[in-house]
Structure formats: C-alpha cells, structure tokens
Amino acid sequence: MTQTPLQHSADSAAASPAPPVAKKVPTERTHHGDTFVDNYEWLREKESDEVVAHLKAENAYQEAVTAHQEPLRDAIFQEIKGRTQETDLSVPNRKDAWWYFSRSVEGKEYGIQCRVRAQDTGNRVADWTPPAVEAGVEIPGEEVLLDCNVEAEGKPFFSVGGSAVTVDGHLYAYAVDNSGDERFTLRIKDLRTGELLPDVIENVFYGVSFSPDGTRIFYTVVDDSWRPYQVKAHVLGTPVTDDEVVYQEDDVAMWLGFELSSDRRHLVLGIGCSEYSETRLLRFDDPEAALTTVISRDERVLYEAEPFLLDGGERVVITHNRNAVNSMVSLVDPAEFAKPLAEQRWTTVVEHSDEVRVNGAGVTSTHLVVSIRKDTIERVQVIPLAGLGTPGQEAPVEPAFDEELYTAGVGGSDYEAPVIRLGYTSYFTPSRVYDFVLPTPERPAGELLLRKESPVLGGYDGSDYVATREWAEAADGTRIPLSVLRHTSVARDSTAAGLVYGYGSYELSMDPGFAIARLSLLDRGVVFVIAHIRGGGELGRHWYENGKKLTKKNTFTDFIAATDWLATSGWAAPDRIAALGGSAGGLLMGAVANLAPEKYAAVVAEVPFVDALNTILDPELPLSALEWEEWGNPITDPEVYQYMKSYTPYENVRAAAYPKIAAVTSFNDTRVLYVEPAKWVQELRSKTTGTEPIVMKIEMDGGHGGASGRYVQWRERAWDYAFIADSLGAKELLPGAGLK
C-alpha cells in the first residue's frame, strides 16, 4: 500500500517522540559559601498531580523510544522462564521439631511457606537429614503456613519482611508490605487452628522474633527518616499501645537491629555504622535483668558479639577490628567488660591477617563457625568449642570445593544440629545446598552432603561458558580484580559486545553467583565483566576504605580502568561496551557517564543514587544521616562538601555527547527516592550534545528492589538486558546458543 504524506509524517513522529520537559523552578542551596541552583527540585513533591503526570509522561516516552525492543524483551523473558523450573521447592530446614520449606508453583508469582514435623530417632545425622520433598507433591502431614499468592491477591505489591515461629511451633508471625515502602504489617497466626490472633502491629521494619517462651514478640520500628531506631516488645493479647520500647537509638547516624543469640538465651541488639558499633544484651532467664553493654561505642571498635555457654560458663565470642583492620575473633569472659577496655583480657581465637578478612563468627552447641574472605572468595571455617581459646585449640576445618571462583556461605542452622547448612554457587554452577557434617574425632574433616542443586532447564550446559579472573590496572598502579564471563564460542578478535557491571560501596562484595537471566546476554555474545572495584570488600577492609569518603573517586576510576581493560583485551570492540549498576552502583553509573561518556554505548542505572550530595545534606530525608560514615558529612565538613560536589552525578552533568542512558526506578523506593533519577534525566537531556535517547522507566507500584512477583521481576530484568543488547547490536543468539 502506498503511504500518504500524512501517514508518513505520523510514522516519523511516532519513531522520534519528544521527551517530556520539566519546567525549571530555580531553587538555591547554599553551604560553606557555595550556592547551587537546582532547577528540578520541585519534582520531589510526590503528592503533586503535576509531578505524577510528569512521571507518567516519562514512562510513556520510555515506552515509545524502546517499543522496538519489545520482541527482544519477550524473547529474553521466555528464555528466563524456559530455564526456570517454575514448580519447585527449597530444601527443608529444621528448626526445633519441624522442617520448614517453601514451594513455588508454575503460574504463581509467589512462594508458599510450608512445614512438616521432624522425627527424633536418636541417630543425630539421620534426624537432621531433610525429608525427601518433591516438587508439586504434597507429603503426609504437610502444613501450609502462608500462601503468599493468597495474601497478595488484589494488592499492587507484596513482600514478606520477616517471619518467626514459637519454639513450641504453635504460633507463626509474618510481616507484609503491600506498597513497596518497606513498612510492614505484622500478623500472628495460631497454627493449631489456622486463625489469626487479634494482635496486629502496623509500620514495623524488617525482622521479627518470638521470645523463647512464646509470650512476647520483638520487632523494629523506623523513625521519620526510615532509620530503624526502636526495638519493641509486644506481649501477646495486650494492646499494641502498651508495647514496651526495649531500646531506642537516638543517634541519627546509627542503625539498630536485633536477633536472638544462637542458643536463644539472649536478645542481642546491634547498634552501629560502618566504622564502629555497640552490642547490648538482654538475658531471657532473668525477668529483672536490664540491658548490658558489651563494648561502648565510645571506644570506636567495630564488632559483633555472640554470648554462649562454654563448659558451663558464660563466654562471649567477639569479631572485632581492635588493632586488626581486617578483623579477628576473640573469646572473652563477660566479667571483663566491667573493666576499662585497656585492662580487659581477651583470648585470641582467630588471629588477624593482612590477607584474610574475617566477616563474622557464630556458634553451634559444638563448634565455632567463622566466615572469612580470602583471595576475594567468601569461605566458611569451623573450630570445635572443646579447647577453644586454649593451647589445645584445634585447627580450623574448611569445606573443600573444586572451583576457583565460587561463593560459600552459612545458610542458617539450628544450635543443636550436628550439621550446618551451606549455600554454594559459582558463575556457572547453579545454586547448591549442602549440609556440612561438623567434624568429630571419628570424622576430623567433616563431610559435605549435597542436598540439592537448583535445576536449570532448557538444555543448560555449564561447559558452554567460561569465567576467568583477570586484572585491570588503575592509574595509581592498583590492580583491580575482574571476573570475566563469556560464551565459549566468542572469539577474541575485538569485535564482540561487552558489559561492565560494578557496585563498589559499603564494603559489599560482588561475589560469584549463578544467574539465569545473565545467560541471555552471554548467549548473544556479550562478554560480561564484573569489576571488583575499591569501595567494595573483595580484598579486605583496606579495599573498602580506599573507596569511601575522600577516596571515593577511586571507585569511579577503577571502573573506567576495568572498561579500558575490556576495550583493549581483544574480548570486546571498544565501541560496543555498556555499563550497568544499581543503587550506589547507580551513582557509579552517573559518575562514569560524566567522566568518560565516550567509552560507553549505553548506561543502565537502576534506582540510582545520583543526587547524593543534595540528599546527604538533608538529614530529614530517608536514611541520609546514616550515609555520613560512607561518604563523609558535607553539612559540617567543607572539604567533604567540595569533594562530593566534584563527583556527585546530578551536579556534574556537562556539555558532552552522552550515550544511551536508562534510569530505572520505583515510585515508592524509600532508599533512593524516585526524584533523584527524575532530576538527573532532565539535566542530562538539557546538557547533552549528542542525539542518543535518555529515558526513565519508573515502576509506580514498586520499592527499592523494583516490583514484586517473580514473573514481573523477570520482565524487569528482560527490559534492562534488552536495552543493553539492543544498544550494543547484540540482539541475535550465537549459533547453537539459547534454549535447547
């Protein structure tokens, strides 16, 4: 059919839609003699109809610009779905007299929480061997605790923020969020009758625990800036208004949390920031007991404490950085804490090492369990409690795995169990669940028992892919570890597409892990590089400290060094490289886009912290004061202010040819407010000298992790990856790759 001029004009307009342009309302911000004019601060008015209309217009623009990617998005979604065993279940985990597990069912968005009664035959290892539970097959005596699909019905969002069961197994508590703002409603079910108790507690934060006697439930409350600041205790059957404040933390720069000690004899309160902490303990066996402090925050020690009984006597195991930058583990008699710190006697259990980062230590009834990081890899070690802290202390035993790049971590275990549950994964080994039988004199090396490897459908073969450890070099000579993932058929001829992913904040490590969705990029020939940049925790505490506060720019330049390595490695064409990061990694994306826009064909920034200075300057905004230990306090320190101002993405957008950029966010995110990317994309569009589209995708019903529901989340990941693959010209599957 011949096109008329009118049809042709309409088609051209549809192909090149105009982006929404927000009005400019200059707002001045003055600190330390510096005035910044912000034209888009008005977009913070979340309740404004004009703001909501603007955000919807951004979505409409994004949908128009990326409409041609819909077939690719659908293909990637179908690949994720086709590789996922939709009707599946977790490995049962024993707690007290029950095995707890979750089922997923094909076509259902959410899991179903179940349990079945355990047996005690006297054979300890057999009694702690999970029952054989089959996908889609109910077993005799199976009880449904919570069908999350029923709970989520008719709700725009659904997330469980914590659950707990009483020791006797009679009561089940669970906390639900239906908006994505991470404020949960706590309800309690009597599992004997299936009825809900009248006790309903609104606006609780993550984590709930029953007291050992089941008469009280503990929970956390956030303040107006979304900082957890109170731990409360609710006595079942009493008005919520009578709930006791167990502890309130008034320092706006300190985070508060709690857990029960492993032996459930104490409530353990953790108070801290990234640089120092304080632990307070409450005994359950003494109704008159008050909270006791282990080490005061005034000592500026960063530590965690676990009280337990050793040979019938009270002891506390402490993981701490006292004269140990990478932390160490000590054993202390509680009576020592009454003395000045310098006079206390601590016994070393795990020595400090410049090569090994000690992440934490816990106990079972027979062993100390230590989490360490060595050569970037997270590992688990166990030491018998018998002889702990004496010259006869036994050497640690570490479960052995046969891959170079992997992650192994404790996945929870009961205090009395003869085994600990381990989670294991690598880049191309699907998640495995092991039980590690704790060492005994008869079995000194322990024993690894594989309980499950998550199935991957669609003909997945891990030998089709390869992961290698490579090193980039920063301008200051620092070697930056990289994990380079690719399909084996990709040729090293400088023609492939490449993607660099990074985070680099809060001492969080980007550990090896299997991801079904990532296979869709690798199958299209994209070389996926994970940059383990400074600010993360991969190479110990110094690695973190050299990428925070007044050394934060190392995070950004390390990422660019990783990009340069990829561009010159032969694995990718220099003009076919994209960048991906989220949250603080979204700040990273904004920073590298400003520093080196010419190095990237596309940038995807998920829930990006791109207006960091403005946010941290306002302690009333969610979680701002908690950020001072990470970035510095620009309110009181002019040097910090100037340093942050020199890199914060929104304030450093410049006249440059920016690449394709997608900012992905959620309207109800309480950690990185939607207004940050909303302002950023406006500034980018007003300054760019290039012609590439800059879009914002906003989930109007989601939180910091995006929308809820696994199918919705798969579609969100498919959107991100389709944007990247399309931008890199990597839309077609490699010969022989893809679902089989």
Helices assigned H by DSSP within 488-602? 516-522, 541-545, 553-569, 584-595
Question: Residue 585: inside a domain, yes or no?
Answer: yes
pLDDT of 412 reads 74
Q: At what angle do helices 70-83 and 710-727 cross, to 10 degrees?
A: 130
Lowest-confidence range among 120-124, 195-199, 313-317, 472-476? 120-124
CA separation for the pair 53, 63 (Å, rounded): 15
Is the model's pLDDT at 317 over the cut of 70? yes
**Is 363 in the same domain as 478?**
no
**Is 546 in the same domain as 493?**
yes
Cβ pair 142, 114 in contact under 8 A: yes
Question: From the centroid of its chain, how far is CA 449?
Answer: 27
pLDDT of 57 reads 96
**Is 346 in the same domain as 440?**
yes
CA separation for the pair 77, 710 (Å, rounded): 11
Q: 412: closest CA among 362, 360, 359, 366?
A: 362
pLDDT of 5 reads 31
pLDDT of 137 reads 84
**Is 474 in the same domain as 364?**
no
pLDDT of 254 reads 92
What SS3 state is found at 623? coil
What SS3 state is found at 332? strand
Q: 555: closest CA among 580, 532, 576, 539?
A: 532
Q: What is the 3-state secondary structure (H, E, C) of 539-567?
A: CCHHHHHCCCHHHCHHHHHHHHHHHHHHH
β-strands 266-272, 277-283: how paired? antiparallel
Average pLDDT over residues 132-145: 87
Is the model's pLDDT at 537 over the cut of 80? yes
The values of phi and psi at residue 118, to 5°, are -90, 165
pLDDT of 495 reads 98
Q: How confident is the model at residue 226 (pLDDT cuts 50, 70, 90)?
A: confident
Paired residues of 452 in beta bridges: 433
β-strands 292-293, 277-283: how paired? antiparallel
pLDDT digits (tens, 9 = 90+) for 349-361: 999 999 999 999 9
β-strands 266-272, 112-117: how paired? unpaired
Question: Residue 181: inside a domain, yes or no?
Answer: no
Q: 640-667 b/e with 16+ CB inside 10 Å = b? A: bbebbbebbbbbbbeebebbbbbbbbbb
Tell me, yes or no, if 542 is annotated catalytic. no
Average pLDDT over residues 363-382: 95
pLDDT of 380 reads 95
pLDDT of 15 reads 55
pLDDT of 351 reads 96
Which residues span the domain enclosing 656? 63-82+459-727
Average pLDDT, rounded, for the chain: 92
**Is 588 in the same domain as 518?**
yes
Asked whether the CA dihedral 351, 355, 361, 366 is positive or negative, the reply is: negative
Q: Above pLDDT 90, what percent of the chain?
A: 82
**Is 421 in the same domain as 475?**
no
pLDDT digits (tens, 9 = 90+) for 183-203: 899 999 999 999 999 999 999
pLDDT of 217 reads 97
pLDDT of 290 reads 92
Question: Residue 95: inside a domain, yes or no?
Answer: no
User: What is the domain count for the chain?
Assistant: 2
Instruction: Spot the catalytic one: 163, 704, 720, 727.
Output: 704
pLDDT of 612 reads 93
CA separation for the pair 611, 127 (Å, rounded): 54
**Is 403 in the same domain as 495?**
no
CA separation for the pair 635, 612 (Å, rounded): 13
What SS3 state is found at 584? helix
First to last CA, the chain: 39
What is the phi-psi region of residue 522: left when phi exceeds 0, alpha when psi lies from -120 to 50, beta otherwise?
alpha
Q: 598-613 b/e with 16+ CB inside 10 Å = b? A: ebbbbbbbbbbbbbbb
Residue with tokens 């009825």: 195
For residue 232, the 8-state DSSP code is E
Helix (H) or strand (E) holding 81: helix 70-83
Is the model's pLDDT at 79 over the cut of 80? yes
Strand intervals (E) in 375-464: 377-384, 406-410, 419-426, 432-437, 447-453
Is the model's pLDDT at 578 over the cut of 90? yes
pLDDT digits (tens, 9 = 90+) for 593-650: 999 999 999 999 999 999 999 999 987 776 667 788 899 999 999 999 999 999 999 9
Tell me, yes or no, if 704 is annotated catalytic. yes
**Is 450 in the same domain as 463?**
no
Q: How confident is the model at residue 156 (pLDDT cuts 50, 70, 90)?
A: confident
**Is 382 in the same domain as 516?**
no
For residue 90, the 8-state DSSP code is P
Is the model's pLDDT at 279 over the cut of 50? yes
Question: Residue 374: inside a domain, yes or no?
Answer: yes
DSSP for 239-268?
-GGG-EEEEE---TT-EEEEEE-TTSSEEE
Instruction: Spot the catalytic one: 102, 669, 720, 727.
Output: 669
Structure tokens at 685: 């569009």
pLDDT digits (tens, 9 = 90+) for 402-423: 898 999 999 877 899 999 999 9
DSSP for 716-738?
HHHHHHHHHHHHTT--SPPTT-S
Q: How confident is the model at residue 555 (pLDDT cuts 50, 70, 90)?
A: very high
Question: Residue 168: inside a domain, yes or no?
Answer: no
Structure tokens at 313: 């006597």
β-strands 328-332, 347-350: how paired? antiparallel
Cβ pair 169, 96 in contact under 8 A: yes
Structure tokens at 478: 């620092």
For residue 487, the 8-state DSSP code is E
Average pLDDT over residues 414-436: 94
Q: How many residues can be counted in the chain?
A: 740
Question: Residue 492: inside a domain, yes or no?
Answer: yes
Q: The sheet that has 196-204: what strands, in order across it?
A: 159-165, 171-177, 184-190, 196-204
- CATH number for the domain spanning 518: value is 3.40.50.1820
Is the model's pLDDT at 13 over the cut of 60? no
Average pLDDT over residues 245-249: 97
- CATH number for the domain spanning 443: value is 2.130.10.120
Give residues with Cβ within 8 angstroms of 316, minimum separation 6: 294, 305, 306, 307, 308, 331, 332, 333, 334, 337
Question: Residue 431: inside a domain, yes or no?
Answer: yes
Cβ pair 630, 535 in contact under 8 A: no
Structural domain ending residue among the three candidates 455, 490, 508: 455
Lowest-confidence range among 411-415, 521-525, 664-668, 690-694? 411-415
Cβ pair 300, 309 in contact under 8 A: no
Structural domain ending residue among the three candidates 455, 486, 506: 455
Structural domain ending residue among the three candidates 439, 455, 471: 455
Q: 197: closest CA among 174, 229, 230?
A: 174
**Is 472 in the same domain as 390?**
no
Q: Is the pTM of this model over 0.85?
A: yes
Cα–Cα separations (whole angstroms), residue 204 to 136, 207, 218, 283, 671: 34, 9, 10, 23, 16
**Is 481 in the same domain as 538?**
yes
**Is 466 in the same domain as 581?**
yes
The count of other CB atoms within 10 Å of the CB of residue 479 is 11
Instruction: Spot the catalytic one: 104, 163, 483, 583.
Output: 583
Average pLDDT over residues 328-344: 97
Q: How confident is the model at residue 90 (pLDDT cuts 50, 70, 90)?
A: confident
Question: Residue 9: inside a domain, yes or no?
Answer: no
What SS3 state is found at 185? strand
